[in-house]
Amino acid sequence: MNQKLDQKPGEVVFDLNARSEEFLETFFRKGAEFTEQLLQEVQRSRGEIARLKEENIKLRSQLASDDAVRDLLVKVKELEEEKRSIRETADNVVREYRDYEGRYMEMEQELDQMANLYVASAQLHVAMDPSEVFSVIEQMLMQFVGAAKIGIFLRRGTDDAPSLVPVHAFHCDAIKGTRIEWNQGAIGECAATQVSYIMEPGSTSAQGAPIACIPLLFGTTTIGVIAIYGLLEQKKNFVRVDYELFRLLAEHSSSAIIGSGLFSRSENLADVLGCFEGI
Amino acid sequence: MSEYTCLIVEDSPMMRQLIVFALGRIRNLKVVEADDGVDGLKKLSSGKFDLVITDINMPIMDGLKLVKRIRTDAVHKEVPIMIITTEGAAEDRQRALQLGANEYVTKPIQAPQVISKVKQLLKIQ
């Protein structure tokens, strides 16, 4: 160790010690400060880590929640599609049901119509004499159509000058004893043209004029006319089934009248059957 | 096996046949026919009926007298009665209902209407 000669012994040692202490003091102080800073930094880092952990948890749950929402949206879309499909099917079913219902109603109406026509036809052809046939026609028109005033006219006179006379009157006594010329008025025209005359619903007929005329056709010949002068209070207009009944009356009444007329003139059934000998 | 029995009182065979046709569409319904009110009463006394359908204008005994008789009969006074008639005036309807008829239908009849009213009276679904 080098030592200056003019220095007192121990004086140098004192300085060195002081400096050493000073150094150590500084060293430890700085160390403490550094440690302090380090601890603070560690503390801060812990806080930061805790915050980040918390944020991470939040983000994870957010992500899970987003996934759930996404899944739900997909599910909703699927359900919407299913709902649309079910609704479409239901609409089709309702449409088909309505279609069937309509067809069922039509069939019901057809059935009623056929029942009416069957009953009318059967009753017409079981009558044994013309007056019975006239009563059946009257009943048919009253019960099935709702006619309140009815007249039945038959052809009289020669082929050159035919006319019509009433043979049955129901609630229309005014026609009794009258004679209608061929092709005169609604009844005469109906007989001559062989075309039914049916007034438009709601239109009013002239005083005493019929509201409907149906020709009685035997082959190509008109043998008479059925005239309707009025309807029951509750019957406002003719309906589809009435027209069918008029057609049946036009075609079947005449043969029933002629058949029953011939039968009533014969002595007995054997007499009638005798007419068919040789056929 | 018939669950219900209905008596039809109507002088017109044609109308009877038509009503029978219509009622034929109701299951388990047996129909008995009578020509007029007196015949109707005779048939009524011979059995149990769940419904009576009657016309008004009939010979011997009309439908209104029949309704009156049924409503005073100890056995059948509760039986439902439906009138089917050509009489469409409001006072005719009112009179029939006052005498005890349950339903009043005017001719010409519509089969679905008659079926529906019969089902109502018999309490059939």
Task: Looking at the complex, report in whole angstroms how far the Cα of residue B72 sits from the nearest Cα belonging to chain A.
Answer: 30
Give pLDDT, residue A23: 85
Out of A126, A143, A173, a domain closes at A126
What is the CA angle A233-A234-A239, rounded to 5? Answer: 115
Give pLDDT, residue A1: 47
Do residues A104 and A166 both lie within one domain? Answer: no
Give pLDDT, residue B91: 92
Give pLDDT, residue B99: 95
Query: How many domains does the structure of chain A reveal?
Result: 2
A143–B14 CB contact, under 8 Å: yes
What gap in Å lies between CA A29 and CA A20, rounded to an integer? 14
Out of A126, A159, A193, a domain closes at A126
pTM of full prediction above 0.90: no
C-beta pairs of A83-89 under 8 Å, 24+ apart in sequence: none
Task: Looking at the complex, report in whole angstroms how far the Cα of residue B75 sits from the nearest Cα belonging to chain A.
Answer: 32
| Residue B113 forms contact with A (CB below 8 Å) | no
Which parts of B1-125 fold into alpha helices (H)?
Answer: 13-23, 37-45, 63-71, 90-99, 111-122
Give pLDDT, residue B2: 63
Closest CA to B116 of B82, B86, B89, B67: B82
Out of A126, A160, A193, a domain closes at A126
Each residue of B32-59: pLDDT tens digit?
999 999 999 999 999 899 999 999 999 9
The parent domain of residue A189 ranges over 128-268
Closest CA to A226 of A214, A217, A238: A214
Asked whether residue A75 carries a pLDDT value surpassing 90, the answer given is yes
Do residues A66 and A148 both lie within one domain? Answer: no
| Residue B65 forms contact with A (CB below 8 Å) | no
Asked whether residue A249 carries a pLDDT value surpassing 60, the answer given is yes
Q: Do residues A227 and A187 touch, judged by C-beta distance below 8 A?
A: yes
pLDDT band at A121 (very low <50, low <70, confident <90, very high): confident
Do residues A242 and A145 both lie within one domain? Answer: yes
